[in-house]
Structure 1
Amino acid sequence: MAKRFLILVAGAGMAAVAGYATAASNWVEISERGNQICIRSNSIPNHTTGSFPNRGNPHRIRPQNINVCVTASPRKTNRARGAGPGAIGIALNGVLIRPGTADYWDPRSPRGHSRDRSSGWNLEGMGSARTLGIDSANAHVDNRGTYHYHGKPISALKTRGGTQVGYAADGFEIHYVGGRAKSGYRLKSGTRPSGPGGKYDGSYVEDWVYVGGAGTLDQCNGGMLNGKYVYFATNTFPFYPRCFFGRPSRSFRGL
């Protein structure tokens, strides 16, 4: 079946990396294939980035070959599926969305954190933004050179107009409506009983608890918009969905 193109953005911007522009510019193609929406991109953003490598992030941005597809008719189930530290979705500018991290508090590491999960205290990307070298677009770079978002992509919100900023891996749209979408998560009160100690300040995922309440989003940062269920990018934790009410596409595995 022939592809019906929904949007094509090429050469829409240059990414500043360590004080100079990359050789590649932003390229993204969004198309419809049967009952799937497919996104191909080089993962180069359509906006200026921070300088990479930097003190908290030793990696350099490199063009990627991103090719993912999601269902065009997602179905909401009654059970939330947990999402790992990998990509939970993709922005309309072709940059992956990864709100979680694979880093944990580790007092034995020179950096104070590592991939050793034994402490049980998982670094929160935006709560540890300075530690992880996250830039003003709420993004940084992994060891493969993949630039990706941890918080809402401030500079990319107008890619298509309207409020949609991307797609989650299970096919539900991701929208940003500012303060109109209120997270149901709250910081715990008091101090941490173990691990890094100190006051709950949002540096770790475990600093947060879902309490819900009237007018707040569900535990996957979802809710109704114009009569349909969508996920939201929010100004506060969890910033993006950390779980799915649909079935995530296998094409996001390893991203």
Structure 2
Amino acid sequence: MNISKLHPLLLLIIFLISCNSTDNDIIEEDDDQEIITDNCYTDQALDSSRGLCDVTLPYTNNFEETTSSTVRIISTNSIPNHDVGLFGAVQGSLNPNAITEQSEVYHITLTPTISSELTSLLSSTGPAYSFGVLLNGVELDPVAAEPFPHEGFDSPNANWEWNLEALNVNLGLDCTNAHVQPTGKYHYHGTPTSFLEHLNISNQEMTLIGYAADGFPIYYRYAYANANSSSSEVIEMTSSYQLKSGNRPGDGITAPCDVYNGIYTNDYEYVEGLGSLDESNGRTGVTPEYPEGIYYYIITEDFPSIPRYFRGTPSDDFRI
């Protein structure tokens, strides 16, 4: 056909049909493959709001720490030593699970060693470990059980590579970044604000606040500028994680799409040397309790707040 001899109106119609054929959200490449365009988006929203902490519990905090020659033993009822948010089956509660006393005993090695590989708190089938326990007996448990596509943690379609980040979505956390499991256990997903206020944390000294499941100590935010000198000034430690740039690679069906914004834990990436801490949000150095030096973790204000990896071997008492 000689296109130059076609009527101008017919040429215009052919041009419009050709343009429209490539302007769909989903382009059929073949019978079993689809390419999703940039119009894919997520229905999850950033939300860092927190509930009040204006409820005094009818329980007393019970925390006991003993040691043998090799093991630190922490016994606790998991009741915090501060006020909490409103939880339980009442109007206005942050989630429907009421806080109840627990009976927890943690055995933590006194001689932790660094392993050749990191152990993640999150496995391919869901949360594997809580991170540790504070000196008030309450667990640090940062990983939510909220995998994509948000049909429930026991969904056969659960993609645990993309798990909601508890600190950046509305999971009913109170002012101290904590909420309650269906079992009634109160636990922290991020910086335990009220607990730290109770300790009257200073920015002029290192403050031990708990122990990780692998036995290494946990400090809050501040450490010696020179890791090998307790006479050096105390400064704020910084995370080496940052938000990824661009868009998630998912199709919106088997994995999320849209821009990396912190809704998912996997929206963040570790960049060696970006901050003062390693991939496990820790480093090796001297501390007031360990003047000979030890590996220790830091809870930071920025992501990940509570570490998501162990440098040592975690105790099975923290297994989820």
Q: TM-score range by the shorter chain?
A: 0.7 to 0.9
Which stretches in structure 2 are left out of the alignment for 5+ residues?
1-51, 223-234, 287-292
**In the alignment, is residue 46 of structure 1 matched against residue 102 of structure 2?**
no
Is 1:186 the counterpart of 2:225? The answer is no
4+ long deviations beyond 4 Å = 17-20, 158-162
The separation in 2 between residues aligned to 1:225 and 1:202, in whole angstroms, is 31
Q: CA deviation at 1:121?
A: 1.9
Worse-superposed segment, 214-223 or 115-124: 115-124
Higher strand fraction (1 or 2): 1
Question: Aligned equivalents of 1:96 and 1:119: distance in 2?
Answer: 22
Post-superposition offset of 1:177: 2.4
The secondary structure found in structure 2 opposite 1:25 is: coil
Unaligned 5+ segments in structure 1 are 1-16
Counterpart among 194, 214, 218 of residue 174 in structure 1: 218
- Matching residue of 1:222: 282
Q: Does 1:209 pair with 2:269? A: yes
CA distance in 2, matches of 1:118, 1:154: 31
Question: CA–CA distance in 2 between the matches of 1:225 and 1:115?
Answer: 41
**How high is the sequence identity, in percent, across the aligned residues?**
39
Larger Rg: 2
SS of aligned partner of 1:235: coil
Q: 1:20 to 1:239 in 2, by over 3 A?
A: closer
8 Å CA contact 1:47, 1:156 repeated in 2: yes
TM superposition score normalised by structure 2: 0.67
Whether the 8 Å contact between 1:57 and 1:133 is mirrored in structure 2 is yes
In structure 2, what is the equivalent of residue 37 of structure 1?
Answer: 72
Answer yes or no: is 1:142 the counterpart of 2:181. Answer: yes
8 Å CA contact 2:162–2:265 kept in 1: the answer is yes
State the partner residue of 1:24. Answer: 59
1:82 to 114, 117, 120: 120
Root-mean-square deviation over aligned CA pairs: 2.4
Secondary structure of the 2:60 match is: strand
Structure 2 match to 1:62: 100
Change (3 A) 1:214 1:238: closer
Cα distance between partner residues in 2 of 1:102 and 1:141: 13
SS in 2 for 1:26: coil
Q: 2:53·2:83 contact (CA, 8 Å) conserved in 1? A: no
Partner of 1:100: 143
Q: Which of 101, 106, 125 matches 2:166?
A: 125
